[in-house]
Amino acid sequence: MASTSARATAWASAVCAGVHAAGSRHVVYVPDNPLSHVLRALRDDYPDITTTIATREEEAFGIAAGLFVGGVRPTVMLQSSGLGNSINALTSLLVPFKIPVLIVISMRGDAGEWNAAQVPMGRAVRPILESIGVPHVTAESPETTAESVRCVGDNAFETRLPAACLLPRRLTVPGA
Amino acid sequence: MTRLDATKRLTAQLDKEPVIASLGHPAYDLFAAGDRPENFYTWGSMGLASSMGLGLAMARPDLRVFVLDGDGSLLMNLGSLATIGWTRAENLVLIVWDNGEYGTTGGQDTATRHGADLEAVARAMGMTTAVTVRTAAEFHAAVARAKSTPGPWTIVAKVEESVPTVKPPLDYVMIKQRFMAAIGTRDA
């Protein structure tokens, strides 16, 4: 059972490893079900990473902006539905002031989705990110996820822009 | 007490403390009161000044972080008070210029003119150190306490609208870079 469980959440450990390798030591988040595995792995395996729960995704980006100007590389984790709550923070604070954040987005609305309320935003995530100038990559497998997250983080912190790594449901809920 | 008067009184009490100002009139008045590199003028992201202040306060516990918010802006992000209350950032001082109106957009009423009590909200969210002040003397005393005793502080300052005549620089990256240099942030 333990090995099954470990395999099922290998992607979550890989996300944590990528965040850590990018030098980020503070994760601000609004939780969802897949991200709960990431947060558990952070708590268990990365005591040097601080976590803060925000009440809303936009607030999380505001907190992240303050962390960055204070010298901490921030990560924001959210579900794709929360990107809609984040756009003003991204477009009027982080992008114009060139404040970088590593963004990890747990995708809903893609392959395997059962809830129609998640589908329009899920479909819109990539076009929205592209239209507001936030680069994104999609993690493809547990084996490549750590590297994908780290590369996105490096890209964000080197270029001083927010950048996003998307976690598709085929990764986070295999077999869904 | 107008907002500009109060802002000038505040900056006269400050040394090198960082100040993050909400967009529009709070930022304009902070600039009018005297530009300093420790000022971070936001130009958008309405509602997020207190969140940004919390992030900085958590990253830099050695600093006392001041935030200048407006009543309308704080009403847009009341959840921020819950997070501040939870995290108990003792070095955060949230000053809310409460003039009962959306001053930057033409003076439409905010809910505080119709009974909303932001000090009570702050207390309900876990900030025991919350006060409402109505005079220059009360404001001075509250800032002095907030500078020297643990917070997180919420100071709701009842002020009259004052029409700004100057605006801060529009070079956002410059504002950020000089702010970070002034508070001694090494490049993250």
pLDDT tens-digit map of A47-95: 999 999 999 999 999 999 999 999 999 999 999 999 999 999 999 999 9
Q: Residue A148 sits in which domain range?
A: 2-172
Please tell me the class of the B3-182 domain.
alpha beta
Interface TM-score (ipTM) > 0.85: yes
A83: Cα separation from own chain's centroid: 10
The string of pLDDT tens digits covering residues A126-169 is 999 999 999 999 999 999 999 999 999 999 999 999 999 999 99
**Are A57 and A77 a contacting pair, CB within 8 Å?**
no
Query: Rounded to an integer, what distance in angstroms lies between the CA atom of residue B152 and that of residue B122?
Result: 10
Please tell me the pTM assigned to this model.
0.97
Query: One-letter amino acid identity for A3?
Result: S
CATH of the domain at A15: 3.40.50.970
- Which residues in chain A have their CB less than 8 angstroms from residue B40's CB? 69
Q: Are strands B101-102 and B92-98 parallel, antiparallel or unpaired?
A: unpaired
- For A104-117, what is the mean pLDDT? 93
Beta strands in chain B (DSSP E): 19-21, 39-41, 65-70, 92-98, 101-102, 108-109, 130-133, 153-158
Task: Test A98 with B173 for CB contact under 8 angstroms.
Answer: yes
- Which residues in chain A have their CB less than 8 angstroms from residue B48's CB? 58-59, 61-62, 65, 89, 93
The string of pLDDT tens digits covering residues B117-147 is 999 999 999 988 999 999 999 999 999 999 9
The minimal CB distance from A93 to the residues B42, B56, B87 is found for B42
Query: One-letter amino acid identity for A83?
Result: L
Q: Using the CB atoms, write b or e for A22-33: b if 16+ within 10 Å.
A: bebbbbbbbebe
- Which residues in chain B have their CB less than 8 angstroms from residue A162's CB? none
Task: Test B55 with A92 for CB contact under 8 angstroms.
Answer: no
Tokens of B166: 């100057």
Spans of all domains in chain B: 3-182
Query: Rounded to an integer, what distance in angstroms lies between the CA atom of residue B167 and that of residue B28?
Result: 5
Sheet of B153-158: strands edge to edge?
Answer: B39-41, B19-21, B65-70, B92-98, B153-158, B130-133
